Structure 1
Amino acid sequence: MADRLTQLQDALDNQLTMMYAALNYIQTRQPYSDIPGQPNLAPDPAPIPTPDSVLAPQSAVSQLTNGDASQQQPNGPSQPSQQAVVEEPAADGRPRTPPPERPEVFNRAMREMAQGLVLQEQQIEYLINSLPGLGNSEESQVRRMRELEAELREVEAERARAEAEKERMVDMLGEVIGKVKRIP
């Protein structure tokens, strides 16, 4: 598990990514608004596909070919295929923007994005509040660092004693092994 500062940096990066995605979605997919007294020239949003409309052409094709997709009529299939529509770039070479969302779909997506941003912000606040040192004065932090340094020196001295003991035991074991006679 990463330390708290790394977790905080990751959470901030995630929030910035979420904000950028939300702004991009709002800019490209917001529905057109009506201006009172002006004609509505907005293109019609794409209809929301229903499960029946998606499955109907596929089942019609399978009925025409008896379920064998490899058989085709000489002039191509009689029903439109279910392949993804690839939008061609506009006349100036830039990619076309996607059509605007329906207002109810757009509002639902905005609500979900806002909830995600709020949850991410709460996670960031939790990580900030759990950072060590918050709520402690500089003097108490310096005192704690000195205590930890003294404890580290004690542990290091104990480790050095254990290392010397290990070396002494290895030497003693070498002497014992050297005194053992071989049996011919």
Structure 2
Amino acid sequence: MADRLTQLQEAADELANQFIACFYYLERRHDLEPFGPNDKIPDLKPEQPKEVDSLPPDVFQAGMVELARDLILKEQQIEYLISNLPGLDNSEREQEQLIRDLEEELKVAEAQRLEAVKEKQEVLAKLNQVLRGIRRH
């Protein structure tokens, strides 16, 4: 499973893609209606491609509602991921103390590792002595 920052980045990318899909839907599926009294809708020639592929108003509205719901869900997912990032509830001083504590734990673990490596080398040396002793007999 991806780490939290990767999940957050992927969710933000998905949200951007959803915004683009919403703009595309609104641009391509709306009714051609004039905004003002001087606006005119040009007549298309049969060989001209349509600028929009209008949907019935109720279908268009239902599509907008669904897209809006998807945007809200994605935004809530992003908020949830952000709220679960480490350190948001800690002050800078607490985070620095946590780092110092972790550094101390790391030093202890490193000392234990070095001790284990030393012990391993001693056991290998003893094993070599035993094997040499067996060969001589």
- Secondary structure of 1:133's counterpart equals coil
For residue 155 of structure 1, what is the aligned residue in structure 2? 109
* Residue type of the alignment partner of 1:19: F
Identity %: 41
Aligned length: 130
Shift of 1:181: 3.2
8 Å CA contact 2:12, 2:78 repeated in 1: yes
For residue 126 of structure 2, what is the aligned residue in structure 1? 172
For residue 19 of structure 1, what is the aligned residue in structure 2? 19
Q: Deviations over 1:36-80 (max 9, x none)?
A: x9xxx799xxxxxxxxxxxxxxxxxxxxxxxxxxxxxxxxxxxxx
* Gapped regions of structure 1 (runs ≥ 5): 44-88
1:144 counterpart (87, 93, 98): 98
- Secondary structure of 2:110's counterpart equals helix
Distance 1:176 1:143 in 2: 49
Alpha-carbon RMSD across the aligned residues, in angstroms, is 2.5
For residue 134 of structure 1, what is the aligned residue in structure 2? 88
Closer/same/farther in 2, CA of residues 42 and 103 from structure 1, 3 Å limit: farther
* Gapped regions of structure 2 (runs ≥ 5): none
8 Å CA contact 1:7, 1:127 repeated in 2: yes
8 Å CA contact 1:32, 1:42 repeated in 2: no
- Secondary structure of 1:101's counterpart equals coil
Closer/same/farther in 2, CA of residues 182 and 109 from structure 1, 3 Å limit: farther
Larger RCO of the pair (alpha carbons < 8 Å, separation 6+): 1
TM-score (norm 2): 0.83
- Secondary structure of 2:54's counterpart equals coil
